[in-house]
A and B are shown apart, each in its own frame.
Chain A
Amino acid sequence: MVDFVTFLDITISGIGLGALYALVAMGFALIYKVTGVLNFAQGELALVGAYGVVILGTSSLISTPLPAVAAVGATILFGIILGIFLERVIFRQFIGEPVLSVIIVTLALGGIFSGFIRFLLGPNYRSYPEALTFGFSIDLPLGTSISAAYALAVALALVVVVALMLFFRYTVTGSILRAAASDEQAAMVLGVSIERTIALAWALSIGITAIGGVLLAMSSGGAGFSIVATGIIIFAAVVFGGLDSIPGAFLGAIIVGLLQELGSFYLEGGSAVVLPVVDVQLNFGAGFGEILPLIFLLVVIVVKPYGLFGTERIERL
């Protein structure tokens, strides 16, 4: 049998992990929604966020590191500036060109980002400053608890998803971003600057992704290259939500987080679930939790190609 409190605990940490993914996933969905680009550098951008704090907030590269909170702020700011910079230098050249070219460019960018960080800091795991590794947990009712990093992730992910939904629904700029996504030329004859639209989308997206990267690192005490793998995991989340839907990406990420946590706990042998009637132990061996979201991705693509909330005219994958 399944112990209920343990189950709740695992569920809560699944939601926490999902919230971490949600930030990265929403950054991805935002770019797809506004520019139609599948950003295959998403995992690497999260990595940039994670290592940004290492570079600015520890003495690994600079002699007088910034205070921890300032380092996080500066990293997010750097993400926003990086978005504007990428539009100026790269994405602007591709306006009016097939979207596929930009998708290929994101693949290249991903390689460049992770390669550059490896060049600066080497391939090893780097711990975060003391102030950012919240070791404590917050107690919740029914004897459960949530780690502080996860709690922060849940709060921030909720803030971001609500803020983005309000932004797209109620502001002129938000409407313009959606309009440009829906018909670029019709937006241009209304005086919309496509360059600014793209710059804004990338700045917002990389800013949010950087927050996600920092929180991912915080939840494990420091930055490591395993964060890049998040780029694939959040893909499952975003496809489930429907690629161009921000709340969809949020929900998808929570589900992926839950699948991963519950899968690792119950299906990998340790406290394996025993099916009562046939008396079979569900034990798929170590690491199954991590591939469970990908199996889920396959099923979603087959059953519901446009995801939960996706616009149905988007291309199939």
Chain B
Amino acid sequence: MTASEREAVSADASAEDEETPVVELDNVEIVYDRHFLAVQGVSMSVDEGDIVALLGPNGAGKSTILKMISGIGRSERGEVSRGRVFYDGEDVTNNGANEMVDRGVTHILEGRRVFEDLTVEENLRCGLYRGGRRFRFEEDDYEIAFEYFPQLEEILDLKAGYASGGQQQMLVIARALIHRPRLLLLDEPSLGLAPKLVEDIFETLVEINRQEDITMIIADQNAQRTLDIADYGYVMENGQIELNDPADVLLNREEIKEFYLGTSGDGSRYTDIRHYKIRKRWT
């Protein structure tokens, strides 16, 4: 056991003593359509106020985990078939999306899912809805959205489908903020955006995390950027968690450098190493 791993274990142990994690997955197995095994033996724990990075290549199961936490996976015939999911210490395994929203979980789906036919203002208005009815509707409801994304105020009457990619990403985050969530799940917020925009959005996420005290899980392929702002990180591969450590420890691990950051010191190229079994090198 390396020093860093020991650190991680002891950090986990002390966290458990202090407070219940916001989200805890205990040896979770997720099955789609009763047959397709998507995620296996995943345990993770997210502490109040943290930003947790969920990393890994396409198809590793990052989205699946987020979807089962927010409950939206149920509508895609996904099911936690083994293990338990806890939210605030309560068992929420296989709860529906509505109930999780009521508990303060808001999920930002992959791919900037704005309501294209609706204007920006109408999109924000949809954030005023919760549990089947609108739950507050005053002018200053949008303030939290405009505070972090002042650009949106200028394009309120624009059809969201015509907004730029960056504006759409801001809009979906703003729409989620109007919900005043406790836990925000973000799926690939950097996907398909220019590096400068990614920079801005990640900076804003940190601000939101600090000022609004919103816990976040960010699933992203941009490992460097995500780990830079995260407190803790999980790396997934083939539906399993292969690595987990505090973000700064992960950033310095050789495997991460080689496979996700491309900054390994010895000059090895991706073509030289791709036939290796990644998992073997991690154990």
Binding site for B on A (CB under 8 A): 95-96, 172-173, 175-176, 178-179, 182-183, 185-193, 196, 311
State the CA gap A196–B129 with chains docked (Å).
Answer: 13
Of residues 203 to 235 in B, which have CB atoms within 8 Å of A's CB atoms?
none
Interface of A is mostly: helix
State the CA gap A303–B176 with chains docked (Å).
Answer: 42
A189 and B118 contacting across the interface, CB-CB below 8 Å:
no
Beyond known contacts A188-B98, A190-B179, A193-B98: 13 more, CB 8 A cutoff: A96-B77, A172-B129, A176-B126, A178-B115, A179-B126, A182-B116, A183-B113, A185-B75, A185-B109, A187-B126, A190-B127, A191-B102, A191-B129
Q: What chain A residues lie within 8 Å of B106 (beta carbons)? A: 189-190
A189 and B97 contacting across the interface, CB-CB below 8 Å:
yes
B134 and A186 contacting across the interface, CB-CB below 8 Å:
no
A311 and B70 contacting across the interface, CB-CB below 8 Å:
no
Bitwise, B75-118 to A at CB < 8 A (1) or not (0) is 11100000000000000000001100110001111000111111
State the CA gap A188–B102 with chains docked (Å).
Answer: 12
Q: What chain B residues lie within 8 Å of A186 (beta carbons)? A: 109, 113-115, 172
A178 and B97 contacting across the interface, CB-CB below 8 Å:
no
Q: How far is the CB of A248 from chain B (nearest CB, A)?
A: 14
Q: What chain A residues lie within 8 Å of B257 (beta carbons)? A: none
Q: What chain B residues lie within 8 Å of A187 (beta carbons)? A: 115, 126
B126 and A190 contacting across the interface, CB-CB below 8 Å:
yes
A185 and B101 contacting across the interface, CB-CB below 8 Å:
no
State the CA gap A189–B179 with chains docked (Å).
Answer: 11
Q: Does B265 contact A (CB under 8 A)?
A: no
Q: What chain A residues lie within 8 Å of B267 (beta carbons)? A: none
A190 and B129 contacting across the interface, CB-CB below 8 Å:
yes
Q: How far is the CB of B163 from chain A (nearest CB, A)?
A: 14
A-B contact pairs, 19 of them (CB 8 A): A95-B75, A172-B128, A176-B126, A179-B118, A179-B122, A182-B116, A183-B113, A183-B115, A185-B75, A186-B172, A187-B126, A189-B70, A189-B72, A189-B108, A190-B129, A190-B130, A191-B130, A191-B131, A192-B132
User: Contacts A182-B118, A185-B109, A186-B113 given: A192-B72 contact, CB under 8 Å?
Assistant: no
Q: What chain B residues lie within 8 Å of A185 (beta carbons)? A: 72, 75, 109, 113
Counting from the closest, the 8 A-B pairs by CB-CB distance are A191-B101, A186-B113, A193-B132, A191-B130, A189-B107, A182-B115, A172-B134, A179-B115
Of residues 40 to 87 in B, which have CB atoms within 8 Å of A's CB atoms?
70, 72, 75-77
Q: How far is the CB of B159 from chain A (nearest CB, A)?
A: 11
A96 and B127 contacting across the interface, CB-CB below 8 Å:
no
A96 and B75 contacting across the interface, CB-CB below 8 Å:
yes
Q: How far is the CB of B160 from chain A (nearest CB, A)?
A: 9
A173 and B118 contacting across the interface, CB-CB below 8 Å:
no
Q: What chain A residues lie within 8 Å of B118 (beta carbons)? A: 175, 178-179, 182
Q: What chain B residues lie within 8 Å of A191 (beta carbons)? A: 97-98, 101-102, 129-132, 179
